[in-house]
Structure formats: structure tokens, C-alpha cells
Structure 1
């Protein structure tokens, strides 16, 4: 075999990762549908839940890597469903922060369960040892956690 006929190993790996990501997204969408939440809203809820204090809209835009207007749309949807609320910052009344409601915390528990089911579906063929190796490899590839809220 010459160099032109050998498979591009890195290209193949990239394609496999892309296919896996798409599969995870399809499974996740199916799992989220009964909860009545989109994947983007799910990410926003998880970020709000992991912040030490209610984040500002700008913090959320930065963490989600989207423009602030996109965060406004996500927050509007989650607020209208009662899962988050806008609250004034106690030290600067011009700043609005986003906090989870009880309904948002309930949605997060349902989301965690849905994510576990989706991941289990994908990882079912792997042994516990293979899962551990995969976790370590993925941790090496993933960017750092970014700024905290």
C-alpha cells in the first residue's frame, strides 16, 4: 500500500468522534423531549446550577460561547416555564442575575437521569475498565473548565 491508499487515521478518528457526537445529540434530544427542554436550555440550567452564586447574563454567554442575545432567548424560555428567574444583583441593582427555581432544580434532576440513560446506551458495549480509559482520554482532550461564574 502506498501513502495515498492508506486510510487517514486522524481523519477517520475525527469522523468517528463527529458521528459519536451526533449520536449522543440524537439520543439526548429524545430524552429531553418529554421534559420539555432543549439541549441549549439544558446546558444553561447546568451552568446556573454549578455557579457559586447566580450568574449574570454575560457570564452565561461566555460559558455557553454564544452572543448575549442568544442567552436572553434561552433565559426567556426557561423563565416562562418557571425554571429560572431574573433577580437583581444585591450589590449593583443595574445587574441582573439568573437563579434556579424549585421547578428548575426538578428539571435538572430529570435531565441528569436522561443524560445517564443516554450515556449508558452509548457506553453499554464497554467494560468498566474501557470506560475508565475512555474517560481519561477524553479528559485529556477536553478544554479546561473556563472561567467560573
Structure 2
């Protein structure tokens, strides 16, 4: 195939990518249902685990690209569920720091494992070389879009 996909193939690829994305989103929602958690709550918990401690409310808001007020509301919900704790920053008593509890970490681990199993179930029938090729092709598509 020459540079650029033919007009009749590119829409087919886009349709298939959309179908895969729909299935992945469905599996993501299903992985959250047993925990009565939202995707936004999971994003926050994962961000808290990724960011260097201590994590301030402003750090979390910046990482999630949300307003500080929204981050505060999100942390309120997580704290009520026992998934995070909050306290004063010892270096700046005006600042609030947040940490994931053991229960919050268990939720993150369980959801990640459910999503991994679902993804393996969806893609596991493909031989490893096909999966590697698919990964490399999708990475090229993403890199090409990021360059624009």
C-alpha cells in the first residue's frame, strides 16, 4: 500500500477502531460496577498513586485537568467512601494533602485486574506477533496525530 490509506479502507479501519473502543469502554464500566465507582474517581485514585507524595489538592486538579473546586468535591466523595485521607501539609498549613488509603489501593488493583482480564479476553486469541504488529501500528497512528 502506498502512503496514505485508500479512501475505501480508511473508513473501515476507523469503524473497527470505534467498535474496539466501544468494547473497551463497556469493559471499563463493567470493571467499576462492583465497586459503585465512577471513572473520574478511578482517574483520581490512579493519579494520586502516580504523583510524588505529598499530593496537594492543586496538584491533583492540575493532573486531572479540572478546577480546584471540582477536585475538592471529588476528594470529598472519595474520603466519605474511605478511599483517601486528607490532611494539612506540614510545610504549608493552608494547603491540603491527599493520600490513597489501603481500601483505595485495593480498589485500583481490583479494577486494573478486571480490565486486564477483559482485554486479554478480547485480544488473547490473536497470536503474539499480531498483537505486537497491532500495537506498533496504533502507536504510529497516535504519533502521527500527535505531530500535527
- TM-score norm. by structure 2 comes to 0.78
Residues 91 and 135 of structure 1, relative CA distance in 2, 3 Å threshold: farther
* Cα distance between partner residues in 2 of 1:22 and 1:69: 31
Residue pair 1:89, 1:95 contacting (<8 A) in 2 also: yes
Is the aligned partner of 1:7 residue 2:8? yes
Partner-residue secondary structure (3-state), 2:85 = strand
Higher strand share: 2
Matching residue of 2:64? 64
**C-alpha RMSD of matched pairs (Å):** 2.6
How many residue pairs match? The answer is 139
| Poorly superposed stretches of 4+, deviation over 6 Å | none
- TM-score norm. by structure 1 comes to 0.77
Structure with more contact order per residue of length (Cα contacts < 8 Å, sep ≥ 6): 1
Ranges in structure 1 where 5+ consecutive residues have no aligned partner: 1-5, 145-149
Matching residue of 2:119? 119
Matching residue of 1:77? 77
* Cα distance between partner residues in 2 of 1:54 and 1:118: 33
Matching residue of 1:106? 106
